Structure 1
Amino acid sequence: MVENINIRVANLQENYLIAKHLYLMWQDIGVPDESIQSNWLEITKEYIDNARHKLFYQAFIADISNTIVGSVSCKIFAGLYPNIIKPEYRKQGYIWGVYVEPDYRRQGIAKKLMEEAIAYLKSISCTKVILHASPQGKPLYSHLGFDENNEMGLDLS
């Protein structure tokens, strides 16, 4: 465990860093560079801007001695279909882009980032948190109490 880690809210100037971490996360899970759109930075920054204005977006940064080593993003889950359930019964938060620099992994940083994101989503009255886990992230998310869900997929490629 890292002792001198500071978890803080990301500022607007750090949108580039959040986007870069998302890009690196996709690389880490084996997505080839040629599969990623060349304007990934603009796409991600636009997504963040929209989510910040409409979906209570918040990002958190892990900082050790003024070196940023990780980040996580979270927001209200906008849904896949019209949400007709009252928010007090079903207001889902969504966590995405959990990333820690390779040299700092397995030291509890992702856990601290996740705890901060979960606390934020709870503070805005979310009733549930969802995420899509990479194989590397599943053990942490299970440890934090996330359970397997019934999402199913069919690869059409």
Structure 2
Amino acid sequence: MPIVELTSDDALLVENYGLHWLEMGIGTDDTRADWRAEAHRFLVDARKHAGLASFMAKVDGEPVGTACCHILPRAFPAFRKGDAARIGYVWGVYVRPEHRGIGVGAMLVSACMSHLKVSGCGRVLLHAGERSASLYGRMGFMPTEEYSAAL
């Protein structure tokens, strides 16, 4: 199953990004009216300023999944010997339901991780839903103690 880097098909990325959130239970009442335009803007900006790369999996020539990754600005200066100079972030991992459970998601995330490593990242982060947490655990990701608060 080929994994190819996408350089311009933002429509597919945006479509899959929306499906991802809808499948996680975010209803249309809680969805921004301009989310598609915001996603397009984000992709353009992240390509220009954060080394965004996106990947697509194909089966029989048809797209069945996508994933994105980019380099995060450091939240604080590196201090410890093991602190990574650059940190990557994987997001927007989406595999069509009929193609789940056969390794498509793992191949997409691996493509992102390889891209980030070549880009000089020493660590990669992602946020995982319940459905995909076991996949990420098998790939070496570990839960972290992150806290957040709405402002």
**TM-score in terms of structure 1 length:** 0.88
Match of 1:55? Answer: 50
Q: Which residue of 1 aligns with 2:3?
A: 7
**Structure-2 separation of matches of 1:78 and 1:154:** 20
Question: Are 2:84 and 2:123, in contact at CA under 8 Å, matched by a contact in 1?
Answer: no
Structure 2 residue runs without a partner (length 5+):
none
Equivalent-residue separation in structure 2 for 1:47 and 1:30 (angstroms): 22
Q: Please say if 1:85 is aligned against 2:94.
A: no
Runs of 4+ in 1 over 6 A off after TM superposition: none
In the aligned structure 1, how far is the partner of 2:34 from the partner of 2:142? 34
Identity of aligned residues (%): 26
* C-alpha RMSD of the superposition: 1.7
Structure 1: 5+ residue stretches without partners: none
- Picking from 124, 131, 140, the partner of 1:129 is 124
TM-score, normalised with respect to structure 2: 0.92
Rounded Cα–Cα distance in structure 2 between residues aligned with 1:17 and 1:53:
19
| d(CA) in 2 for partners of 1:19, 1:45 | 7
User: Which amino acid in 2 is paired with 1:34?
Assistant: D
d(CA) in 2 for partners of 1:128, 1:56: 15
CA positional deviation for 1:29: 0.9
Q: Number of residues paired by the alignment?
A: 148
What is aligned with 2:29?
A: 34
- Counterparts in 2 of 1:131 and 1:89: CA distance versus 1, 3 Å: closer
CA distance, structure 1, for counterparts of residue 108 and residue 148 of structure 2: 28
Decide whether aligned partners of structure 1 residues 84 and 101 sit closer, same or farther in structure 2, where only a CA change above 3 A counts: same
